[in-house]
Structure 1
């Protein structure tokens, strides 16, 4: 087998960062990444099973390239679908040689050696009881401006609709010392924007007992050279007031909180096994609304969960009216394998789910149009992420995680730099502005040899 590899990633930011660690591990083992399946000796698919029909997408992609098996190529399925389907993948796609869930990535070097020795059915399918997180210094970071650090893996919440506890195992936190070492290393490499990741990032518990989650945020935000610290995704059950206090007290902590509610109805939340009430959630919203800083709030919602009545759905609408989210990511309920919701009678017609989703998003769009208006005339710091050549605009992002499209006279600021922008127009999903004439972009110092940029 040629020691070249191709990897394709499906799904969330956690999966994307897992792939960064997998790529770094492979490169450390002497493999070279290529940009096309046809050029690779090893073809890997890092999969997600959160969304409906995720498995079908993976098997469809495998089927597209099975013809390459005759050229001596090996195939591997990683991630959530691998853990969920297990050895059944070998039956459905016998040309696959490696099936590994995310909890087994720490064993990748050993699995690669077995693959090179000619084994054809290698599995890394740890049960959810493993206590070991995947920590590695060999990370090929795809984003040269924003760096990601996983601080907790797995999930112990067992929401009725969610497959994550079954595919990623139980919660496994890294020590605060380990996280701080990685954060300092990234700052030394020139990263100024760091995002802490976890299925439930605020469920992190320091195995050494030294820090709370809020204290970890403050500590990372205090590292020299770091300008922005984000964290996602939080769970309402573990959202504490000191998180808001830390954001208020630490300017480098971004003024944005993503706190999925899923439903505004306590009855539906109970059916979902979310283990909090509407009132519990709204109390946490009151902490955020009462902060000294203007903290942006975003959320996830599911419509059409089994048993959701018209009255339950109306409770969701009244909740978004009360909270005034800056963005909502909403989806129609679809049952996922191995979850309790699979056995619930999905009594709500798809047409009703679609109509509820339309109503929710139409109302949220109205709220965003009004709520974004508060930024008109403000001066907002934007980190440059790219350029819209067709419009002649620079594309940036605010600390509130909002897209800012702006014009800049003279030489355009480089990616990764920070520019003060006066907002001249507000749209439901973005801000428009002009770079201040006297603003000198802050450009972070970066040693190119210290990171790998992937396509």
Structure 2
């Protein structure tokens, strides 16, 4: 087998960062990455089980790869669908050589060695109860300005609709000293923004007992050279007031909190096993709104969960207005394998789910129109992320995680990763338009 590899990644930012670490590990083991599967000796498919029919999409893609088996290529299915489907993948796609869940990634070097010795069926599926995390210095960072650091893996929440605890295993946190060492290494490499990751990032518990999550945030934000620190995704059950206090106290901590609520109905939240009420959630929102800084709030919503009534939907709609979210990510409920909600009667038709989703999106659009209009004539500091040459615009992102398209009079466009002061000249429900504040 040629020691070249091609990797395809699907799913969340956690999956994307997992792939950065997998790529770095493979390269450390002497493999060279290629951009076309036709040139690869090893093809890896990093999978996600959150979306509907995810496993069907995996097997469809594997069937497309099947024709390459005769070319001596090897195949690996890793990630959440790999853990979910397990050795059934070998049965349905016998040309696959490695099936590994994310809790076993730290064993990749041994799995690769076994593959090179000619083993045909190699699994990493038995580590969901491990206390170890996947820590490596060998990370192939794809964004040259924003560095991602996973501080906690797995999930112990067992929400009724979610497959993550079954695919990523129990919660296990990295030692604060290890996180800070990686953060300092990132800063030394020239990164100015760090994003801390976890399925429930604020559920972080330092194994050494030295730092709370809020203290870790503040420590990362105090590292020389770091101008912005973000974190995602928070769980309301573990969102504490000291997180808000840290954002107020440390200017490098971005003034943005993503706090998924999923539903504004206490009855639906109970059915979802979220273990908080509407009022309990709104208390956390009150902490955020009472901060000295203007902290942007975004959320996730599931529409059409089994048993959801018209009144439950209205409870969610009124929650949108009570919070005044700057953005929501809203989805129709679909059952996931191995979750408690699979056994619930899903009597809400897809048409009704679609109609309810549109109701929420229409209300949220009006909320965002008002929210974004407040930024008119404001001067924001943006990190430059890309250039839209067709429109002669620069695309930047604010500390509040808002996208701003802006123009500049400079002959040379500002470099990617640089910071630019921009005055907002026009507002839209999902983005802002501005002009660079030129320095004489």
Alpha-carbon distance between aligned partners in 2 of 1:343 and 1:50, rounded to the nearest angstrom: 18
Greater Cα offset, 127-136 or 291-300? 127-136
Deviation digits for residues 402-449 of structure 1, max 9, x if unmatched? 00100011121000000000000111111110000117xxxxxxxxxx
CA drift at 1:291: 0.7
Alpha-carbon distance between aligned partners in 2 of 1:150 and 1:292, rounded to the nearest angstrom: 29
Q: Say yes or no: does 1:136 pair with 2:132.
A: no
Alpha-carbon distance between aligned partners in 2 of 1:248 and 1:426, rounded to the nearest angstrom: 26
Deviation digits for residues 74-133 of structure 1, max 9, x if unmatched? 000000000000000001111101000000000000000100111110000024211110
Question: Hey, what does 1:433 align to over in structure 2?
Answer: 434
CA drift at 1:381: 0.4
Q: Say yes or no: does 1:272 pair with 2:260.
A: no
TM superposition score normalised by structure 1: 0.96
Query: What's the secondary structure of 1:184's corresponding residue?
Result: helix
Alpha-carbon distance between aligned partners in 1 of 2:188 and 2:329, rounded to the nearest angstrom: 35
Contact 2:14 2:197 in 1 (8 A): yes
Contact 2:104 2:127 in 1 (8 A): no
TM superposition score normalised by structure 2: 0.99
- Give every structure 1 segment of 4 or more consecutive aligned residues whose post-TM-superposition deviation is greater than 4 Å: none
CA drift at 1:59: 1.1
Deviation digits for residues 362-400 of structure 1, max 9, x if unmatched? 110110011111110100001000011111000000000
Alpha-carbon distance between aligned partners in 2 of 1:59 and 1:365, rounded to the nearest angstrom: 37
Question: Hey, what does 1:390 align to over in structure 2?
Answer: 390
Residues 181-196 of structure 1 mapped to structure 2, 5 A cutoff: 181-196=181-196
Alpha-carbon distance between aligned partners in 2 of 1:389 and 1:412, rounded to the nearest angstrom: 10
Question: Hey, what does 1:32 align to over in structure 2?
Answer: 32
Q: Say yes or no: does 1:57 pair with 2:30.
A: no
CA RMSD, 1 decimal = 0.6
Structure showing greater relative contact order (alpha-carbon pairs closer than 8 Å, 6 or more residues apart): 1
Question: Hey, what does 1:422 align to over in structure 2?
Answer: 423
Query: What's the secondary structure of 2:166's corresponding residue?
Result: helix
Give 5+ residue unaligned stretches, structure 2. none
Query: What's the secondary structure of 1:370's corresponding residue?
Result: helix
Alpha-carbon distance between aligned partners in 2 of 1:140 and 1:408, rounded to the nearest angstrom: 33
Question: Hey, what does 1:448 align to over in structure 2?
Answer: none
Question: Hey, what does 1:332 align to over in structure 2?
Answer: 332
CA drift at 1:139: 0.4
CA drift at 1:347: 1.0
Deviation digits for residues 135-173 of structure 1, max 9, x if unmatched? 000100010110000000000000000000000000010
Question: Hey, what does 1:443 align to over in structure 2?
Answer: none
Query: What's the secondary structure of 1:375's corresponding residue?
Result: coil
Query: What's the secondary structure of 1:81's corresponding residue?
Result: helix
Alpha-carbon distance between aligned partners in 2 of 1:281 and 1:126, rounded to the nearest angstrom: 36
CA drift at 1:344: 0.4
Deviation digits for residues 37-91 of structure 1, max 9, x if unmatched? 1000000000000111111111111111110000000000000000000000001
Give 5+ residue unaligned stretches, structure 1. 440-455
Query: What's the secondary structure of 2:365's corresponding residue?
Result: helix
CA drift at 1:330: 0.3
Query: What's the secondary structure of 1:215's corresponding residue?
Result: helix
Alpha-carbon distance between aligned partners in 1 of 2:117 and 2:46, rounded to the nearest angstrom: 23
Question: Hey, what does 1:86 align to over in structure 2?
Answer: 86
Residues 119-158 of structure 1 mapped to structure 2, 5 A cutoff: 119-158=119-158
Question: Hey, what does 2:17 align to over in structure 1?
Answer: 17
Question: Hey, what does 2:163 align to over in structure 1?
Answer: 163
Alpha-carbon distance between aligned partners in 1 of 2:253 and 2:306, rounded to the nearest angstrom: 38
Alpha-carbon distance between aligned partners in 2 of 1:394 and 1:383, rounded to the nearest angstrom: 10
CA drift at 1:220: 0.2
Residues 128-277 of structure 1 mapped to structure 2, 5 A cutoff: 128-277=128-277
Alpha-carbon distance between aligned partners in 2 of 1:387 and 1:127, rounded to the nearest angstrom: 43
Query: What's the secondary structure of 1:155's corresponding residue?
Result: coil
How many residues end up aligned between the 2 structures? 439
Contact 2:96 2:121 in 1 (8 A): yes
Alpha-carbon distance between aligned partners in 1 of 2:162 and 2:299, rounded to the nearest angstrom: 16
Alpha-carbon distance between aligned partners in 1 of 2:351 and 2:226, rounded to the nearest angstrom: 48
Deviation digits for residues 174-200 of structure 1, max 9, x if unmatched? 000000000000000000000000000
Q: Say yes or no: does 1:306 pair with 2:331.
A: no
